[in-house]
Structure formats: C-alpha cells, structure tokens
Structure 1
Amino acid sequence: MLPSKRGSRQQCALRGPPQQWHDKGLLLIGHISRPIQQTAAPVGDTLSRLEYQDRRIKQLEAALANTGHTQITDAVQRMKVSKLPLTPESGMAATEQTGATATDRETMLLRGKSFKTQFHGSTHPGSLIAHIPDLNTFTKEAFERFPALARIRHDMRTLEERTEYAGSKSQPITEAALKALLPQKAEVDELVQLYLDSYGSIYHVLHLPTFWQQYRELWPDIANASGHFVATLLLMIASAQCLVSTQPWLYTANSSLPREKAITYIQACDDWLQTQSQKHVTSADFQIRFLLVFARQVSARKVKRTWTEAGTLLRFCMAAGLHRNPDLLRKKTSALDKNLRRRIWAAVVELELQASFDRGMMAAPWPMQADTPPASNIHDEDLDQNTEQVPSPVRADEFTRSSYLWAASESTMLRHGLNTTLNNIRQTLGFDDVKRFTEEVDAQIQAIPKWTGTGADVAAAFLSLNLRQYVMVLHDRQLRQSETAAERSFSRVMIIDSATRTIDTHRALIEKGSYALELLCQDQLRAALSICHLSATVDIRADSAIGQIIEHHAGRIMDEAVQMLTDKVGRFGREQRQLWIVVAAYGFWKAKNDPSKRAVYMQEAVEKVTRPYYKIMACQDEVPASMGAPLEKVASRGESSKDVPEPMPPLPQSKAQEMTAFEDMPILDLDEIEAWTLENWNQFNASDLPSFSEPYQLNPT
C-alpha cells in the first residue's frame, strides 16, 4: 500500500507504514540516514508537512514522557507528576544496585568541582580512556617512578606564568597598527601560497580572483589598503605559520616562535574587529570571523573555546540569514555574492560540526531552518561581480577549490544526525542500527571522487577522515554492548580497519610534505586509543584469529600516532598531554604483552614525552616576545638564537604569592595532575544522578 494524504493542507497526515514515507523521500524530522532531498513541491506544502510533523513529534514525546500516568487526564497535573526520562547510564545505576552487571556506561567526562568543571561528551577522543582497563594505574605508577614527569608539568605551568604571550591582552588597535604587522612581501608570498595549498581547498571561503587583485594592489600602497583585506591576509598567514618547515624550531616558553607570530596576528585582528561597525557588513566580515576561529584552531590557541566560538560564529551567520537560500533575497544581489554566501555557510557548518564532534557535544540544530543549496563545484575564475547567473557546476571528478565543500554536503545531514545520536544521553543504538550507519558512511567514503590537482589530496583525505571517525566511535561504543561473538568480531574488524586507514591517510600526506591535517585533526589520538582499547579487551586465547590481527596492526598504529603527535608538539610547543596519553597507551599495550618488561616500557614512555620538553627548553629564543618586544618586532624578527637558553628572570614577590595560591586552587586544566595520570577519567558516576521512574529509549530510525 502506498502512503496517502488525508485532511486539509494545514492538517495533512500520512497513511501507510513509516518505511514507505521514507522510501518516498519525504522529510522525516530526526531522520539521520540521508540528507534532506530537494523536491519540486511548493514551499507551502513543505511547510505544512514540517508543521504537522513538528506537532506530531511533540505529541509522541509527551506520550512517551508520561508513560505510566495515562490515568491522569488533567494536563497541568500530568506535568506535575511527570519526570525526565532515564538516561541509559542512570538505568544501569538501578540495575547495578540489584546486583546485575552493567555492560556499558555512557562515556563522558565531567571533571572538577563546584563551578571549576569541564565537560566532554561521548565523541571526545579522551572518553575511551575510561574503558581501557588499568591504563590509569600504569600512568600513576609512571608518575611515582619518574618524578621528571611531575617536574615537567610544573615547569611548563611556571613558564606560562612567567611569560605573557605577545598580544594576549585585548587592547584597541588602529588600522595603521594592523597594517604595520604585515611581514615582508617575500615571507607573505610564501605563507599565503602555503595556506592556499594546505587549507584553501578545504574551507574555501574566498574568491581567489578578487583576492589576488587586492593582493597586487596592496604592496604599492599599503597605507591606503583596505583594513578588512589586511585582516584577512594576516589570518591566512597566521593559519600557515606552524606549517613551515624551518629548522631548528625556536621557542618562547612552551610556544614556538611561528605560533607566537600567529597569536600576535590573531589577537590583533580580533581586537581590530571589535571596533568595526556591523551595520554595513560585506563578505569580508564573515570571512574574517571564520578565519579567526580557524586560525586559533590550527595554532592551538584557546582550544577549549573552539566549540563555543564555532557555535557563536554559526549563530552570527544565521542571524544574517546565510542559512537561507540566497535566491530569496528581494534586493539585487550578484551571483558572486550568492555563491559566497553558500560557501561561507557550508564552511561554517563543517567547522561547527567537527568542533562539536571533537568536544562530544551536539551540533547546533540548524537543519530545520536551513534551505541554502550546497556550495557549487565551480572554478572561481568562472565567476565575478559582473556574472549574472552562477555557472553550471563542473563534473564531480573535476577538482576545484570548492570541491570539498560540495562533496561534504552530500554527507552533512548523515554526520550531523550521527553526532546528535552519539552524544544524546537518552538514546541507545542497537547492532542493526550501527551496521546500517556503517554501511551508509562507507557508501559516502566510496563515493569520494578521485580528484587530481593542487590541494586535491588534502581535500579527499580530510573528507574520508571526517567520515571514518564516526565509524570508530560507533563501533567503540557497540563493542562494549555487543551481545554475541559475531557482533563483537564485526566491531573489532571495523575499528581495526578505520584506525589503520586513518593513520595511513595521515602518513601519506606527511610523506608528501603536507602537515595540514596533522595539526587540524585529533583522529590520531582517537585511532591510537581505539586500537589500545581493542587490544586491552580482547582475549587472545579465546579468539586467536582476531587477536593476531589486532597485534599485527596495534604496534604500528600507536607508533605512527606517537610520531605525529611528537611533531605536533614540536610545531606548537604545546599539546604535551595528548602526546603523553598516546605514549602511555603504547607503553601500557607493550607491557600487557610482556609484563616482565613493564618498567622498561614505562621508562620508554617517559622518555618519549620528556625528550620534546628538553628540546623546547634547549631552543629557547634569546628575546622572548613577552619581555617587552613590540608587536612589530615579534612579527618580523629572524629565526636566530643561541643554543643555550637565556635564564628566566625571577618572579616578583607578588606574582610568586599569586602562583602559590593558584597552585593550591583545585582549578581544572588539561595540564593538571589528574589529566596526566588519567585519574578520575572514569565515566560519569550514575549513582550521582537522581533516580527517575520510567526508562526511555528512542530508536534512531
């Protein structure tokens, strides 16, 4: 029986099984398997369906939430007695109290006390630490045996307190001061090209013919150049600073000089932007705001704020209507501006979705309000301000700067829905759901075109990595709740395959001299922890075949991840905690296979994290940027320094007292002792939650 409509347009309902609605391509709110399909139906019909479905969902949610109170007919009284539905883990709390064994708990990190807390959800890479048996015991023992670890942690914090980052304090900055930060043209030429080759084919928010025209006009007369263009240029070279291959690297405290330059540019552009009017905005205002968030991310600057800043950026774009079809604009708008609106919106959506996934948070619920078409796969040269209509897209396998944004849009709704599902504390997934999602993700990976050309490798790699990370999280979660050996074997194979391909993808780019995704992504950590979790929980005697496969791949995956994160530490001067987590997991895995050498592997792990630290201390710049050097000097000085670092000046008495008080405070920081020993990284304690009366499970179909 085919689905049929009944009722008026305002009260339209569908008859027939829900699966037939799905097959007919109708929009189902909450459906995460496929993107919203474009139909030729009038706008009014679409809105009617949305309104009906919204009302129907609210009715169903109310009915589910009030299960057990059907005898109460008064709506007000029913609201009084209704309670929040159980989360999967709070249900397990009651189960454990009766003596039953819980197979899994919701994996999330809520750490700290009072209001000095941090939260990371299920898709955060570190959430796996809770499920690797005895890893925290290994790290705590390492701290006890090797005091150098605690000393490094203390020294890094002391360095941060003794030196203030150049431009770290907000201060008004004039347009002239902003222009004075521009380095010499030769340096800018190199960094701009490095940015375009590395990131320009991923988040393509610029129109290159316009950019190059303004770039050529800039140098003969910098004083009269547009402040918006200068800010755009500074943020582009800031994003590329840590990609340079200059050796040896020099440092100011625990920050590399390239990173210090990037921070200077970022802070200056941020301060300048705050003084600009928002009444007469152009595409440059949105481009600058996007590049600000992106430059911070690839410079490891205020990384804990990435998710909140990306969300703010997305809302800024929604407030301007970038999520709506630009063809709805009544006033005359050029084809170029319409295309840029679509591009910028697509880039912001991708950035916010990935930031949400990395943090373990749900992405902003923009899909129900958005109808802007995907970015077109067209060459920038085919479009200018005089173009009346957007040209037809080129073939799918023909690479353009917009190819990534166009191809990513094919899986945006799938990834957005999966991220929502995986971080929903009241939603569970069955094996059939996980298998179906795995097939859909794999279909998207197989559909990635075989592009060629400058930047094509980075774009294709980034698209595949963004999809594979969902497979790892899906099966890491499924592995802990599998009911049969066949289900466990399937999840193990998928984890091994995804982790191996993730590391191999990164290695292939690095061998070509591209470090863009090494700095941008966190999936090296995710892959290493996933494979460590797998090897720590498999019984090789009971399942020798899968055990041999795991052992064959585990060592190489974790070793490659250690190398990549070591390079990342060298480029940033930071991220030592991520490196320590991976080297500890690697040492723990080797000690598990050969317990007699536990102390040897522990020492190896300690040496792998202390070696970069000693290199940073030995390569300190002779004139730290924070010791009074002007911003212009920080931005343009050379890379020369003595091999022996200058001694740090003593702290003032008042500052020393502040630091003593600071260290006594239970402030939660990624460099605190618990973060290094992985203590208190266990799952959220279900017994801390109030008891709820009725369980609630939502099928993701």
Structure 2
Amino acid sequence: MQKPQGQSRRIVRPELKRRRPPLACVQCYSRKIKCDRESPACGGCVRIGKGHECIYRNAPSDDHRPVQTWPRPRPRPSAKMLTDEGALTTRHAAYLAPSAVEGGMAHLKGSEMSTKFYGFSYPLNLYQQFPELRSYIAQIKCQNPTINELRDEIYGIANSLRPRYQQHSSQEGIVERFEALIPTRNTADMLVQTYIDRFEVIHRIIHIPTFMADYCGYWDKTCLVSADFFAQLLLMMATGSSLHPEVAFNGVQLNPSRRFCLRWIDAVESWLVPSTFDPASESSYTLTTHTLLVVAKRANSVHESALWSSTGSLVRRAMAAGYHREVGSAMHISLFNREMRRRLWSTVAELDLQASIERGMPPSLRTSDFNVHAPLHLEDEALRDSIDGMPPAPQLLDTWSTCSCQVLLSRTFVARLEICSLINGSQDRDVSDEVLQLSDTLIRALQEIPAWRDTGRSPRDQQTVTYVRSAVAVILDQYLIVLHVPMAIQSPPTWKTHVSRLARLDAATGILMHHRRLVDDGILSECAYQHGLVLGALNLCHELYLSWTNSSGMSHMSTLTSPEIAQAHLVVVERALQLLHGRVSTTLEGLNEFYVLAMVIGLIKSKICPQLTTTAEHVAAQQVIQLSEEVRSAIPTLSADDAEDASAFMCTQPDQSNHGFAPASPSAQVDYNFSMFPDDLGFLHGDFLLDEIQVS
C-alpha cells in the first residue's frame, strides 16, 4: 500500500554522497533507526526529546550544533538563527515554536509553506506532557501492526477525496430547492424542538415566537415564507439531528439522516457563498443564517479545524454591520431590534471565544473593540410585548428564562477573553498573580449558578434547565483548566503549582462528571458534541500520571497515589472514552482524540498496576482497532444510492408527500460527503510512525 504523504523521508546530502559516510546522526546510528539529517537536530532525536544530544560526525560548522528542545529551558531563537542558511527548517519550527508560548505547549504540523498551528489550549497538545507515551505507543503498535494498516487506509482515502466546492450559478428557484429538502412534519417538529431545547437556550440567535409563527404558518399553508426562513429551518434541523442517534446512526453504518444533515448544511452554505462578496449592508436575516451555519457545523463536527476561521469571519461580519456598538437613541431602531442585536452579538462573540480556546488560538476580539450592552434577562414573549412600548424590567437571575445561559456567560465573558489571550498569546512574563485573580472570578461564577428549582415544570423543561446548568459549569471549568495548566506543569514545582494542580483536578473531574450525568439521565446522547470532554479527560489523566511517576518530582496529589482512589478516577476517564467512541462512530470526527486518550489510559493503568501492563496494552490496542474498523466500514456507505437513503429515512404520509427529500446529483454527493471525513486525522500522523523504529 502506498504510504500517505507527510511521513519522514531520508534526505541524502549531495556533497556527502561520494564518500558514503553513515547517513545518520550519532544517536540514530547507534539506535539503528532512520535519520533525516535535518539541522539543527534530526526529526528522530526531536521526537524522543533528545534534540539537544543530536550531533553529526565531522561537522565542521555549527550547522548541526545541538539544540535544546522543550521542555528543557532554552533561549528563544535569535533573528540570525532564523535567517542563516541551513538554520531552522519549517519542520523543526514545529518543535521550537512552543518557546514563544507560556508553558511551552504548542504544535505546528505541515512543511515548507503549508502548515497548520495548534496553540496552547488545544486539548491534544497535552500529549507532550507524557514523556513515556511515544515509546508506549510504539510498543503497542509493534505488537499490533493492524493499527498502522487501518490508519494508513483511512488516511489515504480521506486524502484522496478532496472537497470540490459547488456553487449554485443562479439564485432563482432557491425556495423550491430548499423546500424539496424539508422532511415530513413529524421529523421536522422533533428536530426543531431539539434545537430549541438544547442549542437555542445556549446561543440565543432567533426570536422563538416569531420563528414558530412562520413555522406553523408554513405547514398550515396560511402564509408565504422566504428563502431565509427555509435556510434557517434547514440549519436548525441539521443542528438538532446531532442529538438523535436513533435516527442518525445504526450499528456501524451511517444512516441517511447524517447524509441529509450534511446536505442541509451544504445547500445553505452554497446559497450563502455569493452573499459573502456582497458589499451591501448586512441584514439581520443574513447574519442570523451565518450564525446558525456555524452552530450547525460545530454540533455535527463538520470541518472542525476551520471553525476558528469561520467564527473570526462571523465576528467581522457582525462588526461590519455595527453589532459591536451600542445603538444610540438617535438611531431609528426599535427596542425589540436593539435587544435582538445584543443577543446576536453576544452569541457571535461567544462562538468565536469558544473556537479560539478549543483550537489554541488568540480570540478575534479585544475588550476595547466593543461597547454593546449585555443582553437583558427576558423571555421572548416579554421582549415581543415591548416592540411599541417601554422595555420591561429584566427578570432576576434566580428566575429561569431561555436567556439565562447567555446572561450568565456574559458576566464572565471579559475574564474568559483575557484568559484566552493570556494563555494563547506570546508574552514572556510572570502571570501567576493574574492567573489566581482570574481563577477566583471563575470560581465565584461557578458558585453563583442558580438552581432554578420549580416544581411546576414539565419533565422536558426540567431537563432543559439541568442541561443549561451543566453547560455553563462545563464552559467555566474549561477555562479554569487551561488557565492553570501552565503553572501545573512547571518545573521545579512551587506552592503555586500545588494550587493550580488542585484547581485543574477539580475542574477536569467536574467536566467529566457533568457529561456523564447528562448522558446517563438521557438528556444528551452519547454521539453529542461534548464540550471540553477531551480536555478534561487528558488533564485528569495527567494528574494521575504525575502522581504515579516517581521521577516527576511532584507529589502534591497524595490522595491520587491511593490505588482505590486512582482507579475511581480512571473509571471516570474510561466513561469519557466511551462517550468519545459514540461521537467518532457517528460523525467520523475525533479519531485522533480517541486514539491518544485510549493510549494514555493504557499507560496510566500500567503505572497503577504494573502486573496488568500486558492486559492494558491489549485493551488499548483493541479499542483503537475496533473503532478504526467501524470508521473504515462506514466509508463505503458514502457511495450508496441516494434514492434508497431517502426511502429509508422518510416516513410515508400521503398529505405531506410534497415535503420529501430531493435526490442529489452524483457530483453533489462528493461535496457534502467529504464533510464526513476527519479534518484532523493527520494531526499526529507524522509523530508515531512505526516504520521509524526498527525492532530486532
């Protein structure tokens, strides 16, 4: 099988070819492994953390001088180092870049002029804090070569199917094309209600009574609806379908609803593309639809690696329309529209901040960039009544409303914005005092989350309240983790290290417990997008790893050194791995996260119970192999007949036969089906290569 691009190749220097010296550095030659002879250190030495020991025979100049690689402290590369011929190559910039990040945790993939950067708060970057992980994975993959075979097969197929973006040449008949994609009313009702109960209560985008009036009018045929309505309806249904595994997934085969979900997203995105270059002023409908598109993609794990770019574009679109500024009294804008502008801006800013922290990037905003007021704590019905009158008094925060989550998050937005800038920025200064102050702010916000107890609520409404409380807590815990990681991993440890490790442990455990309860109580499905799940799991694993590694020099967590307590925490992490399995099986996204987390769990098990090392290695390998086989088996379904998919998904209702699914052309199938492939499958592709380690 042809190997995918991106694997290391042996580089032979022309000037040395005639004398045929050993084509390896001293370290690689002694270990009998391949060497790419890169400078200032070869890739093999850098990957095992010994770049500072990499030397070459008969090196007359300092081209091959040893370099210190993170986590060893070293000076930042000078301008001369970056410009000298033969100095820092793009490949090694991936390992030198962390020096500009507080704590030294970043990742740059790619080569030459095609690279992709993952900053400090990107969850998978924590794998760098497990020094034994690479050799552990290499040993498992040596015993289970099927892992590499499945990886190469899936990776090769994903690379061969490049997206071909198809734009509609004409906007004529768009209403008819959108309407042809609407399913039966029973299906639409279920998906729209799911969207309102699980997504709209987190990110306020629409005015629910206004939309539902148009929605009922469409089905009752009492009013005409526009293309904007259909576009928003399709995106709401696509978002809601992410929480319905009984519809979206069956065994190891992707069911048609996943395909139609992606088709809904693709249809709206194709329609929106021309408006991207329209210099005309933005309408609220257009910005609302663009925001719903980002939410739908995020919920369904569609092109996750591009989410940060999408939210940044969304922020600029909102700013171009003036949503970042509080509307003056002289402007002829109603009270209703003023409040809807505040809600939409708050949602856009929150989406960008979340995308930034999850990708490890600085946010698109600074606190000085906006002065719009925070949204009012009002129900939609009360806001509708204020269209022609005075604005009603906001509700107390102890009273539940569909805006409660947005109001709570807006209270800590500035603090979380500062955390994201601080952690993912490039400043080199002592920030420990700022960390403790920001941590206190988030902890107080966690303690002030209302209980919203009301015995008169329906079970569905009570589930929504429980979900919102957990969602707010998870988001705040995410920022607590990334805030404390730099001090938690610093060496040598100080008393501040102890404080940060305790805070990180509590936040990581809290995230995993919230997700566990939401799934166990039937509020979320296992395939749902779990915010902060991987971040919490890896950080909890790192605390266990430090507690059970004698050489770590950090024995603060004495409670975790108890086998019983460590096993209890490990059970929580293994449950998180099960939840991640459900998401990967459904969306084909997150295979890297599952792979790394499964291996880390196996490594920790071998630390806690050395006598079970062999069993732990076998379990980790089988988990990765099983999920990879499920992903591979799902790929052939992408070319299934579309008409058969439609008949399998749609209920037959004679009075609604005109609301079926329109079949897509074969060329269109390639476009939206590509969204099913993981964007990040190559993140660690060049790091854990079995063929770079020769086993005797």
Instruction: Name the structure 2 match of 1:445.
Output: 446
- Looking at structure 1, the residues matched to 635 and 251 of structure 2 have their Cα atoms a distance apart, in angstroms, of 5
Instruction: Name the structure 2 match of 1:547.
Output: 560
Aligned match for 1:529, one of 510, 533, 538: 538
- Looking at structure 2, the residues matched to 521 and 565 of structure 1 have their Cα atoms a distance apart, in angstroms, of 8
CA offsets 1:594-620 (integer angstroms, 9 cap, x no match): 334333212201211222344455677
Q: Please say if residues 592 and 684 of structure 2, whose CA atoms lie closer than 8 Å, have aligned partners that are also in contact.
A: no
Instruction: Name the structure 2 match of 1:409.
Output: 410
> Within the alignment, does 1:583 sit opposite 2:584 as a pair?
no
Q: Please say if residues 109 and 683 of structure 2, whose CA atoms lie closer than 8 Å, have aligned partners that are also in contact.
A: no
Q: Which runs of 5+ in 1 are unaligned?
A: 1-87, 641-654, 656-667, 681-701
Aligned match for 2:581, one of 542, 566, 576: 566
Instruction: Name the structure 2 match of 1:504.
Output: 513
Higher relative contact order (CA 8 A, sep 6+): 1
Aligned match for 1:478, one of 456, 472, 487: 487
Give the alignment's TM-score, normalised by structure 2: 0.73
* 1:275–1:364 CA distance, 2 compared to 1 (3 A): closer
Q: 435-444 vs 398-407, which deviates more? A: 435-444
Q: 598-607 vs 347-356, which deviates more? A: 598-607
> Within the alignment, does 1:314 sit opposite 2:315 as a pair?
yes
Q: Which runs of 5+ in 2 are unaligned?
A: 1-68, 79-98, 652-669, 671-677, 691-696
Q: How far 1:585 sits from its partner (Å)?
A: 0.8
Tell me, what secondary structure is at the counterpart of 1:395?
Answer: coil
**Counterpart mapping for 1:181-260 below 5 A:** 181-221=181-221, 224-246=224-246, 249-250=249-250, 257-260=256-259
> Within the alignment, does 1:378 sit opposite 2:393 as a pair?
no
Q: Please say if residues 526 and 582 of structure 2, whose CA atoms lie closer than 8 Å, have aligned partners that are also in contact.
A: no
Q: How many matched pairs?
A: 556
Q: How far 1:260 sits from its partner (Å)?
A: 1.9
Give the alignment's TM-score, normalised by structure 1: 0.72
Aligned match for 2:75, one of 94, 100, 115: 94
Given residue 358 of structure 2, which amino acid in structure 1 is its aligned partner? D
- Looking at structure 2, the residues matched to 458 and 432 of structure 1 have their Cα atoms a distance apart, in angstroms, of 33
**Counterpart mapping for 1:518-667 below 5 A:** 519-538=528-547, 545-548=558-561, 551-615=566-630, 624=637, 626=639, 629=642, 637-638=648-649
- Looking at structure 2, the residues matched to 419 and 620 of structure 1 have their Cα atoms a distance apart, in angstroms, of 37
Q: Please say if residues 238 and 262 of structure 2, whose CA atoms lie closer than 8 Å, have aligned partners that are also in contact.
A: yes
* 1:635–1:231 CA distance, 2 compared to 1 (3 A): farther
Instruction: Name the structure 1 match of 2:64.
Output: none
Instruction: Name the structure 2 match of 1:301.
Output: 302
Q: How far 1:583 sits from its partner (Å)?
A: 0.7
Q: How far 1:485 sits from its partner (Å)?
A: 5.2
Instruction: Name the structure 1 match of 2:27.
Output: none
Q: Please say if residues 377 and 402 of structure 1, whose CA atoms lie closer than 8 Å, have aligned partners that are also in contact.
A: yes
Tell me, what secondary structure is at the counterpart of 1:246?
Answer: helix
Q: How far 1:676 sits from its partner (Å)?
A: 7.9
Q: Please say if residues 183 and 636 of structure 1, whose CA atoms lie closer than 8 Å, have aligned partners that are also in contact.
A: no
* 1:669–1:231 CA distance, 2 compared to 1 (3 A): closer
Q: CA RMSD of the aligned region, Å?
A: 3.4
* 1:259–1:466 CA distance, 2 compared to 1 (3 A): same
* 1:475–1:369 CA distance, 2 compared to 1 (3 A): closer
Q: How far 1:223 sits from its partner (Å)?
A: 9.9
Given residue 497 of structure 2, which amino acid in structure 1 is its aligned partner? R
Tell me, what secondary structure is at the counterpart of 1:337?
Answer: helix
Instruction: Name the structure 1 match of 2:5.
Output: none
- Looking at structure 2, the residues matched to 543 and 379 of structure 1 have their Cα atoms a distance apart, in angstroms, of 47
Q: How far 1:317 sits from its partner (Å)?
A: 0.1
Q: How far 1:226 sits from its partner (Å)?
A: 0.9
* 1:557–1:548 CA distance, 2 compared to 1 (3 A): same
Instruction: Name the structure 1 match of 2:476.
Output: 467
- Looking at structure 2, the residues matched to 90 and 252 of structure 1 have their Cα atoms a distance apart, in angstroms, of 41
Instruction: Name the structure 2 match of 1:179.
Output: 179
Aligned match for 1:672, one of 671, 678, 682: 682
Q: How far 1:195 sits from its partner (Å)?
A: 1.0
Instruction: Name the structure 2 match of 1:435.
Output: 436
Instruction: Name the structure 1 match of 2:496.
Output: 487
Tell me, what secondary structure is at the counterpart of 1:330?
Answer: coil
Instruction: Name the structure 2 match of 1:365.
Output: 365
Q: How far 1:387 sits from its partner (Å)?
A: 3.1
Instruction: Name the structure 2 match of 1:420.
Output: 421
Q: Please say if residues 283 and 340 of structure 1, whose CA atoms lie closer than 8 Å, have aligned partners that are also in contact.
A: no
Q: Please say if residues 489 and 546 of structure 1, whose CA atoms lie closer than 8 Å, have aligned partners that are also in contact.
A: no
* 1:168–1:512 CA distance, 2 compared to 1 (3 A): farther
CA offsets 1:197-254 (integer angstroms, 9 cap, x no match): 111210111111101110011124499421100100000000111211317924898x
Q: Please say if residues 528 and 561 of structure 1, whose CA atoms lie closer than 8 Å, have aligned partners that are also in contact.
A: yes
Q: Please say if residues 245 and 527 of structure 2, whose CA atoms lie closer than 8 Å, have aligned partners that are also in contact.
A: no
Q: 406-415 vs 461-470, which deviates more? A: 461-470
Instruction: Name the structure 1 match of 2:92.
Output: none
* 1:256–1:527 CA distance, 2 compared to 1 (3 A): farther
- Looking at structure 1, the residues matched to 125 and 162 of structure 2 have their Cα atoms a distance apart, in angstroms, of 32
Instruction: Name the structure 1 match of 2:397.
Output: 396
Q: Please say if residues 198 and 516 of structure 1, whose CA atoms lie closer than 8 Å, have aligned partners that are also in contact.
A: no
* 1:436–1:620 CA distance, 2 compared to 1 (3 A): closer
Q: How far 1:535 sits from its partner (Å)?
A: 2.2
- Looking at structure 2, the residues matched to 503 and 676 of structure 1 have their Cα atoms a distance apart, in angstroms, of 30
Q: How far 1:265 sits from its partner (Å)?
A: 0.4
Tell me, what secondary structure is at the counterpart of 1:119?
Answer: strand
Aligned match for 2:151, one of 153, 170, 175: 153
* 1:151–1:257 CA distance, 2 compared to 1 (3 A): farther
CA offsets 1:479-529 (integer angstroms, 9 cap, x no match): 222655533332322222111111111111112222279733441111121
CA offsets 1:119-138 (integer angstroms, 9 cap, x no match): 01111111211111211221
- Looking at structure 1, the residues matched to 420 and 596 of structure 2 have their Cα atoms a distance apart, in angstroms, of 24
Q: Please say if residues 512 and 573 of structure 2, whose CA atoms lie closer than 8 Å, have aligned partners that are also in contact.
A: no
- Looking at structure 2, the residues matched to 407 and 104 of structure 1 have their Cα atoms a distance apart, in angstroms, of 29
Q: Please say if residues 498 and 556 of structure 2, whose CA atoms lie closer than 8 Å, have aligned partners that are also in contact.
A: no
- Looking at structure 2, the residues matched to 229 and 609 of structure 1 have their Cα atoms a distance apart, in angstroms, of 43
Q: 594-603 vs 455-464, which deviates more? A: 594-603
**Counterpart mapping for 1:41-190 below 5 A:** 92-94=73-75, 105-160=103-158, 169-172=166-169, 174-190=174-190
Instruction: Name the structure 1 match of 2:269.
Output: 270
- Looking at structure 1, the residues matched to 543 and 121 of structure 2 have their Cα atoms a distance apart, in angstroms, of 17
* 1:635–1:366 CA distance, 2 compared to 1 (3 A): farther
CA offsets 1:48-77 (integer angstroms, 9 cap, x no match): xxxxxxxxxxxxxxxxxxxxxxxxxxxxxx
Given residue 582 of structure 1, which amino acid in structure 2 is its aligned partner? L
- Looking at structure 2, the residues matched to 372 and 422 of structure 1 have their Cα atoms a distance apart, in angstroms, of 25
- Looking at structure 2, the residues matched to 247 and 226 of structure 1 have their Cα atoms a distance apart, in angstroms, of 28
Q: Please say if residues 577 and 598 of structure 2, whose CA atoms lie closer than 8 Å, have aligned partners that are also in contact.
A: yes
* 1:617–1:405 CA distance, 2 compared to 1 (3 A): same
- Looking at structure 1, the residues matched to 302 and 317 of structure 2 have their Cα atoms a distance apart, in angstroms, of 21
Given residue 638 of structure 1, which amino acid in structure 2 is its aligned partner? F
* 1:611–1:223 CA distance, 2 compared to 1 (3 A): farther
Given residue 316 of structure 1, which amino acid in structure 2 is its aligned partner? R
- Looking at structure 1, the residues matched to 467 and 228 of structure 2 have their Cα atoms a distance apart, in angstroms, of 28
Q: Please say if residues 139 and 677 of structure 1, whose CA atoms lie closer than 8 Å, have aligned partners that are also in contact.
A: no
